[in-house]
Structure 1
């Protein structure tokens, strides 16, 4: 049976020029490089320059993805941009990207599911393509989390970084089997009862301020391992594949211990896991597309590879997606 698949055709990413090593924090907070590395695996991260906005990062990633595919902005039908740190309350950051890349028709919108944002955006982009509402969709994750950190909270401010990644999907015919190229399955979840585990203490209708990030790290860790494992298994079951068939895992780059714990529970060997957290920190919705772009550039992800992606963020919101390049 012939079906329409949303097939990945190119990636791109952008990191701000400023690199912040762990030593920067040890000079300002009561912490050590060893403490940060042991608990998170992070060695450095990138911070946006003064005046550099989330849209600036997203635009550079979008241009890199277009260059990777040889397309122009006018060839894109839709942009779905995942971010928890938009330029403005409205309009969407995606429309800024749309204008900057010369996309004069179609539509662009933001999606907010915090660190799980890219998985949710990917699922929405897939639906747009499968339903025939778009032929080519650019999915972007972009964040400037350095704007919402509490610099006196050593448990959280050392964990995050800024960056952007983009993936272009194109409608192509498949046979409706697990050997098809494209998105094979997605598995999305959220549960608002866990709101207070990871949130920002500000908002337009509550405080009228931006606020700063608050997190109960131990509780988030426990939920992350169990929920990501379950979502990963569900995505594979929906597609009719096993973990032995997965070529690469591109997880949300939040914490090395979470990444390894989930991989172990899913019987995925370390050599199949793409890890960039040591160099980028947690870039929230940007982390998966950023890591995916780095993996493709380095040859870790190639045509024909079956790739599992998974993420969890505030909400709690979490999910997984399975895609063949």
Structure 2
């Protein structure tokens, strides 16, 4: 089966970072009414990493970029755009992307943050690959990072067992001889925004009163229903756009929200669960960081190899979802 014409862009480097502090299921047992068996059975999560009191999303993202620079022969001097996917910026009005530009002294680059919550990294990668393929930019630094511990209510058993902190970074560059981005798909359902949110200036959303006082609020049942219905449909659309069979996918890298969600998505989409890569077991749900963390773990474990075809798919607050198929290496 032939494939559609790929976008003339490629991921050329990757880096990741998680904080040192570990919050285990046993630790949570001393904080709320829960236990290791209950958490693992329902989520697949055993540990999550927690940022220090003086460590914020910009620090996580900068560390992920630095990790990339130590592992790949790439430079930031010719980066002409920085996109950071996050919904937990250090400050409301100073983008994390600008803090990255300042830290590394990138001489001439645009910089902005993108908020599509847990779909953020896929949205940012979609944006970067399109801009590079169009010739608008030649080298884009894409970072996904979140400090969810800063907005988690540690008295709420339903949410505090899920979330952790981390960041991942990739470089997207122009590639004409061996382009890698094969298909993209984006979607949203704003009527479901009331199911995952964090309060801000407004006290209601689409006429629905909000609670939480700045902490994450989630209706897990509704998010589950959205993910296990929407993601398999999105996967079918992606494969059709790329004119690819299911068997062409070497690795499926979904947002690491909950292992039971991933299992259901695999069952409904026909992708073997053994092909799924996830970062939630020891990092928890890290929102925009979960997909690059899972990809990097797959690389470090020797699973993902040059030439492999990857299907990335994010889903989360908004409600939003985004997927793409790309070749690695």
Q: Partner residue of 2:69? A: 66
Tell me, in whole angstroms, the C-alpha distance in 2 between the residues paired with 1:161 and 1:63: 20
176, 186, 194: which one aligns with 2:184: 186
Partner of 2:151: 148
- The alpha carbon displacement at 1:101 in A equals 2.0
The CA distance in 2 between the partners of 1:73 and 1:110, in whole Å, is: 18
Q: Is this contact kept in 1: 2:46–2:281, CA < 8 A?
A: yes
Structure-2 residue corresponding to 1:221? 224
Maintained 8 Å contact 1:204/1:210: no
CA deviation after TM superposition for structure 1 residue 75, in Å: 2.7
Decide which of 315, 319, 324 is 1:316's aligned counterpart. Answer: 319
Deviation of 1:55 after TM superposition, in Å, equals 0.3
Q: Contact conserved, 1:247 with 1:307, CA < 8 A, in 2?
A: yes
* 2:234 paired with 1:231: yes
Of the structure 1 ranges 295-304 and 279-288, higher mean CA displacement relative to structure 2 is found in 295-304
Counterparts of 1:233 and 1:214, CA distance in 2: 30
- Please give the secondary structure, in 1, of the residue aligned with 2:102: helix
**Conserved? CA contact 2:8–2:175, under 8 Å:** yes
Query: How many Å separate the matches in 1 of 2:245 and 2:82?
Result: 31
Matched, 1:203 2:206: no
Alignment correspondent of 1:247: 250
Distance in 2 separating the partners of 1:148 and 1:104: 33
SS in 1 for 2:8: strand
The residue aligned with 1:94 is 97
Contact 2:192/2:319 (8 A) holds in 1? yes
Partner of 1:46: 49
Contact 1:161–1:280 (CA<8 Å) still a contact in 2?
yes
- Kindly state the Cα deviation for residue 85 of structure 1 after the two structures are TM-superposed: 0.1
**Superposed CA offset, 1:93-125 (max 9, x none):** 111011212311111110000000111111110
Aligned equivalent of 2:289, options 283, 286, 291: 286
Q: Provide the secondary structure at the position in 2 that maps to 1:250.
A: strand
TM-score normalised by structure 1 residue count: 0.94
Measured after TM superposition, the shift of residue 181 of structure 1 is: 3.9
CA contact (8 A) 2:7 2:180 kept: no
Query: CA separation in 2, counterparts of 1:4 and 1:215?
Result: 36
Equivalents in 1 of 2:194, 2:142: separation in Å? 28
Secondary structure at the aligned position of 1:249 is classed as strand
Are the counterparts in 1 of residues 87 and 146 from structure 2 also a CA contact under 8 Å? yes
8 Å contact from structure 1 (residues 141, 286) kept in 2: yes
Give the equivalent residue in structure 2 for 1:177: none
Superposition deviation, residue 206 in structure 1: 5.1
Indicate conservation of the 8 Å contact 2:6/2:180, yes or no. no
How far residue 210 of structure 1 moved from its aligned partner, in angstroms, is 6.7
Per the alignment, residue 212 of structure 1 pairs with 215
Shift of 1:8: 1.0
The alpha carbon displacement at 1:164 in A equals: 0.2
* Separation (CA, whole Å) in 1 of partners of 2:202 and 2:81: 29
Shift of 1:66: 2.5
Specify whether residues 134 and 110 from structure 1 end up closer, same or farther in structure 2 by C-alpha distance, changes over 3 A only: same
Distance 2:69 2:141 in 1: 9
Structure 2's unaligned 5+ residue stretches are 205-211
Deviates more, 1:33-42 or 1:68-77: 68-77
Secondary structure (helix, strand or coil) at the match of 1:150 reads coil
TM-score, length of structure 2 as denominator length: 0.93
CA distance in 2, matches of 1:154, 1:218: 14
Q: Which runs of 4+ in 1 moved over 2 A?
A: 1-4, 66-69, 204-207
RMSD: 1.7
Unaligned runs of 5+ in 1: 175-179
C-alpha displacement of 1:2: 8.4
For 2:209, the equivalent position in structure 1 comes to none
Contact kept? 2:7, 2:182, Cα under 8 Å: no
2:81 to 64, 78, 81: 78
